[in-house]
Amino acid sequence: MTRPYLYVAAVAMLALAACSGKPSASSSGPAANATAPVTSTSVASERGDFGPPQGEPIHAVLTSPPHVPPPIHRNYPAKVIVELEVVEKEMPISEGVSYTFWTFGGTVPGSFIRVRQGDTVEFHLKNAPDSKMPHNIDLHGVTGPGGGAASSFTAPGHESQFTFKALNQGIYVYHCATAPVGMHIANGMYGLILVEPPEGLSPVDHEYYVMQGDFYTTGKYREKGHQPFDMEKAIDEHPTYVLFNGREGSITGDNALTAKTDQKVRLFVGNGGPNLVSSFHVIGEIFDKVQPEGGTVAQHNVQTTLIPSGGAAIVEFHTDVPGSYVLVDHSIFRAFNKGALGILKVDGAENKAIYSGKEVDSVYLGDRAGANLQAVSTAAKAHAAGTLTKDEQIAAGKQLFAGTCSVCHQANGEGLPNVFPPLAKSDLLAADPKRAMTIVTHGLTGKVTVNGHEYDSVMPPMSQLTDDEVANILTYVLNSWGNPGGQFSKDEVAKARAAATPAPAAGH
Ligand SMILES: [Cu+2]
């Protein structure tokens, strides 16, 4: 998918670097931008001290993920003022699940900062008056002790200031480095700062900001309500969630990233950790170009790129075929069972010469395709308030059934002949509805006969589901497709789960 001009331009840039040595302010700027669309990524990484800042100080534009501030288009070093406020706040981490995040700028990851190599950055770190903790900032793009951390310890209601020269170009992680450091990072205290090469990056149609992080809650994945941080799980490196942009669904459904066909897309992909290394992959795309680890040597034609904890990469590709492209950590349980999943929705005309066409959504996305689990959280709230109705359970169960049970039993509950038994009008289900709770929590193997047909297969235990999710799904199943009706509660499911696994094929 790499286009020939990439090579031509890269060679040209190499030649330029070879004869001019250090990039200088005079060889850059908008003119250079226009004639040399391809970046310095092939130029050796030189430190850029282009002298004292010139002109009026500039206030940096900061953006919230997934947005990236506009390209700089400036051909001289400036003094850039960055004002970043730390805010501790409760936000959803998944549908119906809240978490107390500690943020740079009110979002996870924190605000995206964009400066030019050689700029003098006057950094103001504020800590909101209602914060409970002191915080600081370590920017990996800073040359100096602690990357700024030593000069930026800031108590609640205070502000600190330090100045640095952005000597090295690249994409850099910043994070809080106040003890306990791991906890501050686990709570969402990280973001990216781009130090543009003097001549700027090549023009593209879309730039997006995506950052992975791992999260540790005392409750299970998707367990509803407010979930506190779990230090033990964090030390053991057993995350409950692995997420892009701090929230399950932050870039799926209505929040998906967008592009049109025949466009160039650049992703700034960071990994805040605190623990995991990301195997970043976009299902259905090949990266035309990657700057691994945010460095200046580019790789081409890459499928999956490793992003270390505390590292970042710049990833570029061209969109040829419309559809949903799925961003994942290809350590794949993280994508489907811990939330590390995003969507780039590409609109435009089909290109059958490149791909015959058919949506990837249903293949990969399950219940994330619709990304609407509203009924699930409504049911959870009602349960907490003690007002949960059967209709609310059915509505929630319907959404959870899609993408969990429907993969095998089909959306209409009719199963697949000889492979997956029907749940619609199942005589086995009707004979002993309560047994379904045991089947879902413990799985089922061995011969079963449903509506006169024999099945001898395996249903794995759906142990990723919480008790209330199982209760809602089965209430939905019992009240659908001509089944006898009925209702199960969370407590009944908990009992069935706790009971010993029945012998295989028990009752047959
Ligand atoms: Cu902090």
Annotation-wise, does 206 bind a ligand? no
| Phi, psi (degrees; rounded to nearest 5) at 49 | -105, 100
Same domain? 65 vs 194: yes
CA 163 to centroid of ligand 1, rounded, Å: 20
Pairing status of strand 120-127 against strand 79-94:
parallel
Q: How far apart are the first and last CA of the chain?
A: 57
CA 128 to centroid of ligand 1, rounded, Å: 12
Same domain? 418 vs 487: yes
Annotation-wise, does 184 bind a ligand? yes
Task: Tell me if 29 is assigned to some domain.
Answer: no
CA 160 to centroid of ligand 1, rounded, Å: 14
CA 176 to centroid of ligand 1, rounded, Å: 5
CA 188 to centroid of ligand 1, rounded, Å: 9
| Phi, psi (degrees; rounded to nearest 5) at 5 | -65, -20
Task: Tell me if 48 is assigned to some domain.
Answer: no
Task: Tell me if 504 is assigned to some domain.
Answer: no
Q: What CATH number does the domain containing 230 carry?
A: 2.60.40.420
Task: Tell me if 268 is assigned to some domain.
Answer: yes
- Is-cis flag, bond preceding 274, omega within 30? yes
pTM: 0.75
Same domain? 214 vs 338: yes
List the chain residues with pLDDT less than 70: 1-46, 357-373, 500-508
Annotation-wise, does 183 bind a ligand? no
Domain span including residue 173: 58-199
Last residue of a domain, one of 368, 399, 427: 368
Q: Residue 90 has what pLDDT?
A: 97
Task: Tell me if 433 is assigned to some domain.
Answer: yes
CA 177 to centroid of ligand 1, rounded, Å: 6
Same domain? 255 vs 126: no
Q: Residue 18 has what pLDDT?
A: 35
Same domain? 398 vs 416: yes
Annotation-wise, does 175 bind a ligand? yes
CA 169 to centroid of ligand 1, rounded, Å: 26
Nearest of 124, 156, 121 to residue 137 by alpha carbon: 124
* Total tally of structural domains belonging to the chain: 3
Q: Residue 404 has what pLDDT?
A: 84
Q: Residue 101 has what pLDDT?
A: 98
Amino acid sitting at position 343: I
d(CA 374, CA 371): 9
Task: Tell me if 10 is assigned to some domain.
Answer: no
CA 81 to centroid of ligand 1, rounded, Å: 21
CA 180 to centroid of ligand 1, rounded, Å: 9
Annotation-wise, does 19 bind a ligand? no
Q: What CATH number does the domain containing 377 carry?
A: 1.10.760.10
